[in-house]
Amino acid sequence: MRGTTLCPNCKTRFKINEAQLESHLGMVRCGHCLQTFDARPGFVPDKPHPQLELPMLETPDSPSLSSLPVLQPMTLAEQVAIVEDEDASAYQSKLRSWPWVIASLLLTLLILAQSAYFFRIELAARMPGLKPVLISYCLVLKCTVPLPQKTDLIGIESSDIEADPNQENQINLNALLRNRAPFAQAFPNLELTLNDVQDKPLARRIFKPTDYLPSSESQATGLPPGRELAIKLHLDTQDLKPMGYRLVLFYPNT
């Protein structure tokens, strides 16, 4: 077995064989700086080889300096050849790692794309700057980016019904809608139930946003965060004679 070793004192690399390693328990003398050192820790074999299970040897007496083999420095061509071999090994290692790097990047992109699809509504609500990108993304996937519909963050702050003094069988519904979310929300549907004196339903009607929104409000942009919307509806009760009512909001898709 042949290889090279490195003088720890002057950093000169030498060629060395197995016989030189074993003759004095690895102790050699540098031919450049004359320093004595153990060649085994810095030994690099010329080619990879399987390790052998060697029996333990009794430690003999330390050899005298005069009996140690003297190693001559490697030539420049030999040192260049070693460097080229090391560079080639590093290059081959990098080539083998590239497929794993590419696979990891593709997997990361796939996870990001799936997250953008499933959380597109929340992303658009909390980061409005991303909404144009998400809309373009949905054009490819045939999906939409609707406004959020969080019923726990939007509510009816107040409401009342009063008879219209100018028209018989007419009542006026007044309600105040408030968005408590930190983002714009879709306008909800309103369900009005008119009850009799025993609190039993007489009639029920659902109002969509197009039924109660004033012309100044846009259904597409939704109710801005922290905003309130005053609603006023005129209803014909005919001969129902309601004595009470119930008003709730809901989203049809939730």
Q: What CATH number does residue 241 fall under? A: 2.60.40
Between 117 and 171, the more confident residue is 171
User: What is each CA distance from 202 to 39, 127, 173, 233, 240, in whole angstroms?
Assistant: 103, 45, 16, 18, 7
Q: What is the pLDDT of residue 135?
A: 78
What are the tokens at 126?
């909390």
Say if residue 187 is exposed, middle or buried (CB neighbours under 10 Å; 0-12, 13-18, 19+).
buried
pLDDT band (50, 70, 90) for residue 140:
confident
DSSP state of 57: -
Q: Which residue has the higher pLDDT, 133 or 224?
A: 224
| Biggest CA pair distance of the chain | 128
Q: Is residue 74 assigned to a domain? A: no
pLDDT cut 90: percent of the chain above it: 32
Domain of 202 in residue numbering reads as 151-250
User: Tens of pLDDT along 56-94?
Assistant: 545 455 555 555 565 556 565 555 555 555 656 666 666
In a domain, 174, yes or no: yes
Helix count and strand count (H, E) for the chain: 5, 12
Domain membership of residue 219 (yes or no) is yes
Tens-place pLDDT, residues 3-15? 888 888 888 887 8
Q: How many domains does the chain have?
A: 1
Q: Which helix (H) or strand (E) holds 13?
A: strand 13-17
As a whole number, the mean pLDDT across the chain is 80
Residue 59 lies in a domain: no
In a domain, 93, yes or no: no
In a domain, 53, yes or no: no
The predicted-structure confidence for 86-102, as pLDDT tens digits, reads as follows: 656 666 666 677 777 78
Residue 244 lies in a domain: yes
Say how far apart CA 121 and CA 181 lie, in whole Å. Answer: 14
Integer-rounded Cα radius of gyration of the chain: 43
87 within domain boundaries = no
Residue 136 CB neighbours (<10 A)? 10
Q: Answer whether residue 48 shows pLDDT above 50.
A: yes
User: What's the pTM?
Assistant: 0.52
